[in-house]
Amino acid sequence: MLVLRPIKTDDFAALKEVAKASGHGFTSLPVCDDLLERKIARAVDSFNKQVESPQDEGYLFVLEDTQSKEIVGTTAIEAAVGLDVPLYHYHMGKTVHHSSTLGVYNTVDILSMCNDYTGATEICTLFLKESHRSGLAGRFLSRIRFLFMAQHQQRFSNRVIAEMRGVSDSHGHSPFWQWLQEHFFTIDFPTADHLIGTGNKVFISELMPKYPIYANLLSEDAQKVIGKVHDKTKPALRLLEKEGFEFRGYVDLFDAGPTVEAQLDNIKSVRDSRLLTVEIGDQQSVDTFAISNLEVNEFKAVFSCNIAINESSDTAIISQEIATAIGVSAGQSIRVLKLS
């Protein structure tokens, strides 16, 4: 059985393996021992904090195969981004060059650097090992965060964002960064990507162009990838679009990948998840459900079709195996969401 739970201190080695497998562009899991240790410590602290409003908490979850004890995936939530270290984006806009005397009217796309998402909650660090990408595990990792957020809404902003990985090749080279590197930087994309992942962002304010960039001055290859996602990220983007996330013109500074956003109250999984009372029994549904307890530091969740919902009594009949896996017993409440 696959069980999602908060990361623990002794998961370091497993997390490092996931970081290695995630590849270029996955800045939230750089292969850096010190940073990964700090990320784990911060997550453990966040899960144990009493929180009335979102601050600098980071909630990192791991998906564990209970039979092999292997960590096969991760998913995370940043409670409020940009409060400690600035969060930069380019916003896509337009400017008009007009001369009534000459009869000229030109509309030009521009990119303006901004910090508009300061304080927003970010869902991030979704990664699943290739061996487990068939079936519903990826969908579960994406949507289970919303059950946690629905249950503990005081810990999060109502504005939720997701930064999607932009286009880069198999060597980690981004066409968009290639243009920036040529005109403003002397470091390649993997190096810049690593610096961001390790929290070293001061070079952004030091070297990034301070004025809006005219998109038509970029190389043709760079223009083509603005707002586009990496091929491997397309399934994740489709899942978020089904949840109600929208692209509103904000792109990453380095690979020009899109950032999508939604209001927490309007996210489909938040609206559709239900609180039900546990009954223990052997039942099976034609649908698969995400099933979680209501805890914070002892949060546990699984996905299974071994569940039956009694609409008239607002109860969920689950197997003893599921109850044990998520740490609940008969009479307690769980949160449930249909995945398929």
Whether 230 sits among the annotated catalytic residues: the reply is yes
Domain spans of the chain? Answer: 2-89+115-269, 273-338
Paired strand residues for 318: 280, 307
Q: What is the pLDDT of residues 88-103, one digit of tens each?
A: 899 999 999 888 888 8
Query: Superfamily for 2-89+115-269?
Result: Gcn5-related N-acetyltransferase (GNAT) (3.40.630.30)
Q: What is the pLDDT of residues 38-52, one digit of tens each?
A: 999 999 999 999 999
Average pLDDT for consecutive 10-residue bins of the chain (340 residues)?
97 93 72 91 97 96 95 96 90 92 91 95 93 90 97 98 90 82 73 65 68 91 94 90 97 93 97 97 92 98 95 94 97 96
Cβ neighbour number for residue 185 with a 10 Å cutoff: 16
- Percentage of the chain lying above the pLDDT 70 cut: 93
Return contacts of 317-325, CB within 8 angstroms, 24+ apart: 317/279, 317/280, 317/281, 317/283, 318/278, 318/279, 318/280, 318/281, 318/283, 318/291, 319/280, 319/281, 319/282, 319/283, 320/280, 321/1, 322/291, 323/278, 323/280, 325/1, 325/3, 325/66, 325/300
**Both tokens of residue 138?**
């990826």
Cα 49 to chain centroid distance, Å, stands at 21
Of 24, 89, 194, 230, catalytic = 230
The domain made up of 273-338 is a member of CATH 2.40.40.20: yes
Asked whether this chain's domains 2-89+115-269 and 273-338 adopt the same fold, the reply is no
DSSP 8-state code for residue 212: P
